[in-house]
Amino acid sequence: MNSRERFIAALNCQPLDRPPIWVMRQAGRYLPEYRALKEKFSFLELAQTPELALEVTMQPLRRFPLDAAILFSDILVIPEAMGQGYHFREQGGIGMDYTLENRDQIEKLTSSSIEEKLSYVADALKLISAELDGSKMLLGFGGSPWTLATYMLEGGSSKDFAKVKALFYQDRPTFELLMEKISDALIAYFRMQKAAGADAIQIFDSWGGIISGEDYEAASLKWIRKIVDAVRDEVPMIIYAKGTTPQLARQAACDPKAISVDWTIPIEEAAARIPSHIAIQGNLDPVLLDTKPEIVRANATRILQAMKDRPGHIFNLGHGIHPTARIENMETLVDTVTSWNQ
Ligand code: CP3
């Protein structure tokens, strides 16, 4: 069984000797070969040049026997294609080129011609898919509408999310207009990714946890459901949720193929709240990769043990890998999972 077959079996909740493993932001700053490319090219050049996006996507796979590749790109390509560009702030974090401040600006955003504007993503996926040739799972992704709206309304990375919440609570029709537009853009984008070779798509609801639990449905989950309903029959969907464990049963009711959980819940408790036909991905705290190999091995083994009788587990971090992660810890993690049960 190759990596791709293993991943698909896990998504279908079939029993396996060991779970497949991949990590998020695996192409990030912890790899010296990535930092070397960043000396020569900006993030946007890397993401927008299909040959370079292929190279960055493949870098971690050359080092570690991971079971999946994740497209090198960013969730913010969608606001950009809708008419609101982004950049990296000098002091770190993301800045949008302007902030959405009124209904007029939201009306001007467009959900059309996404495939044309993001054709470089399709071109990158085609190159990656050809290179992998069915040996590894190829994951595409996008942000949840709510998570994207936080960047678009706050003007970039935010500390208190006051503006996105203000719109949600004070002008629901305008909030919904924005969410409809983002959702439509994402549906077109995910179909394009599938056609270009993505085997599954992960929706990052990274900021789902900042809204009141009472309002999670109206602010975020409703729009995720709309997207999952639209594309479920075309491509397997994984919902990544951060800080939203109280919402697990509601997320499961959207019937995605898998739910990816952060580290705030023991994984077996998450498993108990998710129906057995939905796979679970997670949930090692990424900070552990800054520590020592023996700590990584002990914590990864605990997760493997906890999930050994629950078919449908994909080993993953609870969030993206940190730039400070140590390579030897990543090696230990991948070795712990790939040698499990052998
Ligand atoms: O996992 C992968 O390598 C796939 C590519 C990927 C990136 N971003 C590349 C990236 C994925 C899946 C993302 C998702 C993403 N981007 C999310 C959702 C996941 C999450 O982290 O919650 C969000 C919120 C973003 C927006 C974004 N992009 C942020 C907040 C940052 C960090 C900015 C900073 O200065 O800390 C980025 C930058 C980014 N996206 C990097 C990478 C590899 C680091 C870029 C660099 O410094 O070289």
Alpha-carbon distance of 174 to 177, in angstroms, equals: 5
Alpha-carbon distances, residue 288 vs 30, 140, 189, 274, 299 (angstroms): 14, 26, 34, 26, 8
Q: Can you tell me which atom of ligand 1 is nearest the CA of 143?
A: 18
Q: To which residue do tokens 């570690």 refer?
A: 64
Amino acid (one-letter) located at 137: M
pLDDT for res 341: 86
Q: Please enumerate in sequence order all residues whose Cβ is within 8 A of that of 261, keeping only pairs 6 or more positions apart, or say none.
A: 241, 245, 248, 267, 270, 280, 281, 282, 283, 318
224 torsion bin: left (phi>0), alpha (psi -120 to 50), beta (else): alpha
Q: Is the CB of 86 under 6 A from ligand 1?
A: no
Alpha-carbon distance of 187 to 225, in angstroms, equals: 11
pLDDT for res 40: 97
Specify the CATH class of 3-287+311-324 in words: alpha beta
Q: Is the CB of 297 under 6 A from ligand 1?
A: no
Task: Please tell me the distance between residue 196's alpha carbon and the centre of ligand 1 in angstroms.
Answer: 22
DSSP string, 23-55: -TTTTSTT-HHHHHHHHHS-HHHHHHSHHHHHH
Closest protein CA for atom 5 of ligand 1: 72
For 209, other C-beta atoms within 10 Å of its C-beta total 18
pLDDT for res 342: 61
Task: Please tell me the distance between residue 19's alpha carbon and the centre of ligand 1 in angstroms.
Answer: 25
Q: Is the CB of 29 under 6 A from ligand 1?
A: yes
Q: Is the CB of 320 under 6 A from ligand 1?
A: yes
Q: Can you tell me which atom of ligand 1 is nearest the CA of 27?
A: 3
Alpha-carbon distances, residue 255 vs 133, 224, 274 (angstroms): 29, 11, 10
Q: How remote is the C-alpha of 184 from its chain's centroid?
A: 18
What confidence tens digit (pLDDT) does each residue in 24-70 have? 988 889 999 999 999 999 999 999 999 999 999 999 999 999 999 99
Question: SS3 for 69?
Answer: strand
What confidence tens digit (pLDDT) does each residue in 110-163 have? 999 999 999 999 999 999 999 999 999 999 999 999 999 999 999 999 999 999
Q: Which pair of structure tokens corresponds to residue 340?
A: 């499990």
pLDDT for res 78: 98
pLDDT for res 310: 96
Q: In the chain, which stretches have pLDDT less than 70?
A: 342
- 41, 75, 137, 205, best to mutate for ligand 1 pocket (most atoms within 8 Å of CB): 75
Q: Is the CB of 210 under 6 A from ligand 1?
A: no
pLDDT for res 26: 85
Residues in the chain: 342
Q: To which residue do tokens 């998570």 refer?
A: 147
pLDDT for res 164: 98
Q: Where are the alpha helices (DSSP H) in the chain?
A: 3-11, 32-40, 43-48, 50-63, 77-82, 103-108, 114-117, 119-132, 145-154, 162-170, 172-195, 216, 222-231, 248-253, 267-273, 293-307, 327-338
The domain ranges of the chain are 3-287+311-324
Q: Is the CB of 26 under 6 A from ligand 1?
A: yes
Task: Please tell me the distance between residue 308's alpha carbon and the centre of ligand 1 in angstroms.
Answer: 31
